[in-house]
Structure 1
Amino acid sequence: MPKQIRDRLTALGVKRITAPGFHADGGGLYLRIEDGRRLWVFRFTWQTKRCWFVIGPERDIGLADAREQARLCRLMVRDGVNPIEARQADKAARQIEAGQTFDAVARRYITAHEARWRSVKHAADWLNSLTMYAFPALGAKPVASITIADVLDVLEAIWREKPETAARVRGRIEAVLGYASAMKWREGPNPAAWQGNLKHLLPPKSDIAPVQHFAAIPYADLPAAMTALSNADGFGALALRFLILTATRSSEARGCRWSEIDLDKGLWTVPGDRTKSGREHRIPLPKAALAILHDLKPLQRAPDGLVFPGGRLGSPLSDVALSKALKAAAGEGFTVHGCRSGFRDWCAEMTAYPREIAETALAHSNPDKTEAAYQRGDLLDKRRRLMEEWAVYLTTTARTAEAVPIRGHA
């Protein structure tokens, strides 16, 4: 059998070739010129048929790289693998992998297991915790490509501040990735496993010192913060203004959906699966909060879409986005949750509203079971007046302070 001549072409010579046709380099590699296109192709015989494998355009692939690709193709043919079929199988695998994102697999896991869980709320809690903490970092990633570093990106942000929540989120990520392994969508060890894995990278919950909470922002400082937020850009500032005006929790405001809002009645109904108490909470919306919603209405993506969407479609804003907005408006040392404390202090010190109205506005459970048994309603009308007065305080006090100089400093 005559010896094949290889490496007939040169890099400079390739650039000078303009004639249409197949220009052999040897070893099955050709430069194909046709209809203005210049492609590297590999010729091989498969089951007595002549086949052509397209390596790629000459403008993107140099001669040396084309020769290396041809060498790999020759090895595949020698080992009984058709390069064309191998590429098609690889493409199909990538398409399947792209469809098996962490978000999609997590939802399949919940659907597969929710029938045996104790309540619908448990399934909702699963999805809410993953949506809040895991999906922003992992949601769009194929489960096959998730690493320990990816899992740590999720957990390190909350491991010390919210150890109980972080432990639950870790366990749920582990369960989802374990499900993915059982479905043959990923291979190798589970990167969210604790024993022999994250145990060596994160401190156990028992070793984490209690979190030292920052002081709540004084209610006297909130009007100035609201003014600063009004002049700021971004969904983080808007969501924080809405949160302060409604005295709600961060997760409730960030997860707010248009389907929960009744603009005509000025009412926001947070479903029980999104509240801390597990009970539905109706929130009367003051005019300032309604103004924010009316401004955002043209941006609504779907009837059930998020009012304050995050950077990735379908995901809410992160807690960090609100914390950054608060820091920019009020300085260091305050937490978003502390804004609720500011509202409660204002109710106690600046109004004559009974305690139960303020507590109901905050969706706090009444510790007095006897009293709670007699209080069947949610005091909506009284709370509506309270929230409107709160909004007026927030939106007018700062302007009044600017107009009237403080005595002794004029």
Structure 2
Amino acid sequence: MFNRHILREFGDRAADTITRSEITRFIDGIARTAPVMARNTLGYLSAFYTWALPRLDQMPANPCRDAGRPPAPKARDRVLSEEEIGALWHVLDGEGKPFGPAIKLLLLTGQRRNEVFDADRREFDLAAKLWTIAGDRAKNGATHLVPLTPAALAIVQDLLKDKRSEKLLPARGNWDMSPSGFSKAMRRIREALEEKLGHPVPHWTLHDLRRTLATGLQRLGVRLEVTEAVLNHLSGSRSGIVGVYQRHNYFHEKRAALIAWERELKRLARLHRTKAGTMPRALAA
């Protein structure tokens, strides 16, 4: 976040010369398209100034403290319907790399957007059918073991055939970077989904796929603590004093849950076969 936003804007400035109004304009600019990112960026910049303030004699106060702060966004509750999920698989088959396979992995595994799009090759153990997300990449700082179901494994195996990059999903023409162009890709995919279904579809985001998987697991009867383990949540049944004593990682339960979810995705895909009568490639096995 510092590299992408803060250093790009203020990297050549002395910290004690940046004013409250400059920070407000900076955060407002981010908030026009990414209000959550804007609030998080302000929080990180403020934390930096809290650390720096005792070390900067010329700075009387933290300039972030009274800077404008975007309002908290409303909590989202969007979950894709069964019809939308089934049709989305067909759309993603025609999308190609990187967004087609990446979004399939999001729905198959329930992991966060950045965890998928920024993944490195070395995180995947094909023999063990395992994806390891290190703590420094996970949102909560906890190393996360993600069992790979047959469909997810097939996607990863196909992506790993291209050895030009250490990234699982490199940007086109820049093998050291993760993909960009999310807004354009999502607009294209949303429009294709509406065309496939023949009616308007309520707005949805990539993070909504994570909520869709969690809801689907609950519908399939997966225990809440296993669903939380799949998502690498340290809240609820894995938080507080319970989390101190409850050290079981639910690895085998996570694999069983994700396999059950893959079976459900196959069922939904069958309901929305293409005109040729074929099943989406990632779920054909």
User: TM-score, normalised on structure 2?
Assistant: 0.69
- Asked if residue 164 in structure 1 is aligned to residue 27 in structure 2, the reply is no
Structure 2 residue aligned with 1:281: 144
| Residue 216 (structure 1) aligned with residue 87 (structure 2) | no
Q: Are 1:214 and 1:335, in contact at CA under 8 Å, matched by a contact in 2?
A: no
Unaligned runs of 5+ in 2: 13-21, 50-61, 194-200, 275-285
User: Does structure 2 conserve the Cα–Cα contact (< 8 Å) formed by 1:226 and 1:329?
Assistant: no
Whether the aligned pair in 2 keeps the contact of 1:286 and 1:388 (CA below 8 Å) is yes
- Who is 1:336 aligned against? 206
- 1:196-235 matches, cutoff 5 A: 204-206=67-69, 208-212=70-74, 215-220=77-82, 221-235=84-98
| Counterparts of 1:227 and 1:307, CA distance in 2 | 22
Structure 1 residue aligned with 2:167: 306
- 1:68-89 CA deviation, whole Å, 9 max, x = no partner? xxxxxxxxxxxxxxxxxxxxxx
CA shift, 1:212, in A, is: 3.6
TM-aligned CA deviation for residue 329 of structure 1: 5.0
Q: Counterpart of 1:361 in structure 2: which amino acid?
A: V
Give the counterpart letter for 1:381 in structure 2. H
> Does the Cα contact within 8 Å between 1:252 and 1:274 map onto a contact in 2?
yes
User: Residues 185-206 of structure 1: CA distance to partner in whole angstroms, max 9, x if unpaired?
Assistant: xxxxxxxxx97xxx9xxx9443
Computing the radius of gyration from Cα coordinates, the structure with the larger value is 1
Q: Does 1:389 align with 2:252?
A: no
Q: Which amino acid aligns with 1:309?
A: P
**What is the distance in 2 between the residues matched to 1:261 and 1:274?**
14
1:358 maps to amino acid = T
Q: CA–CA distance in 2 between the matches of 1:215 and 1:354? A: 20
Q: C-alpha separation between the residues in 2 aligned to 1:157 and 1:352?
A: 40
Q: By how many angstroms is 1:298 displaced?
A: 2.0
Which of residues 219, 225, 239 is equivalent to 1:356? 225
Q: Alignment identity in percent?
A: 21
In structure 1, C-alpha distance between the alignment counterparts of 2:184 and 2:157, rounded to whole Å: 22
Q: Which amino acid aligns with 1:295?
A: D
CA deviation after TM superposition for structure 1 residue 402, in Å? 4.7
Alignment-mate amino acid for residue 269 of structure 2 = A
Partner residue in 2 for 1:345: 215
Counterpart of 2:100? 237
Match of 1:258 in 2: 121
Aligned-partner Cα distance in 2 for 1:359–1:293: 23
Which residue of 178, 191, 210 maps to 1:316? 178
For the structure 1 residues 307 and 205, does the alpha-carbon distance in structure 2 shift closer, same or farther, using more than 3 Å as the test?
A: farther
Distance 1:169 1:376, change over 3 A: closer
C-alpha displacement of 1:401: 4.9
SS at match of 2:131: strand
5+ residue gaps, structure 1, are 1-128, 175-193, 404-410
Of 222, 229, 243, which aligns to 1:372? Answer: 243
User: How far, CA to CA, are the matches of 1:237 and 1:277 in structure 2?
Assistant: 27
Which letter maps to 1:164?
Answer: R
- Map 1:52-63 → 2, pairs under 5 A: none
Q: 1:401/1:315 Cα in 2 relative to 1: closer, same or farther (>3 Å)? A: closer
- Is this contact kept in 1: 2:171–2:177, CA < 8 A? yes
1:231 CA drift (Å): 2.0
Provide Cα deviations, 1:112-148, integer angstroms capped at 9, x if missing partner.
xxxxxxxxxxxxxxxxx346x459x96xxxx8xxxx9
What do you get for the CA RMSD once the two structures are aligned?
3.6
Question: What is the 5 A alignment of 1:45-124?
Answer: none
Aligned partners of 2:99, 2:267: CA distance in 1, in Å? 22
Cα distance in 1, alignment partners of residues 214 and 245 from structure 2:
23
| Partners of 2:114 and 2:154 in 1: CA distance | 21
TM-aligned CA deviation for residue 374 of structure 1: 4.1
Given the two structures, how large is their TM-score scaled by the length of structure 1? 0.50
Paired residue type of 1:308 = L
Distance 2:28 2:168 in 1: 26
* Structure with the largest fraction of strand: 1
Change (3 A) 1:264 1:360: same
Q: Which residue of 2 is the match for residue 186 of structure 1?
A: none
**Contact 2:31 / 2:38 at 8 angstroms: preserved in 1?**
no
What is the number of residues matched between the two proteins? 237
* 1:219/1:346 contact within 8 Å kept: no
Distance 1:262 1:334, change over 3 A: same
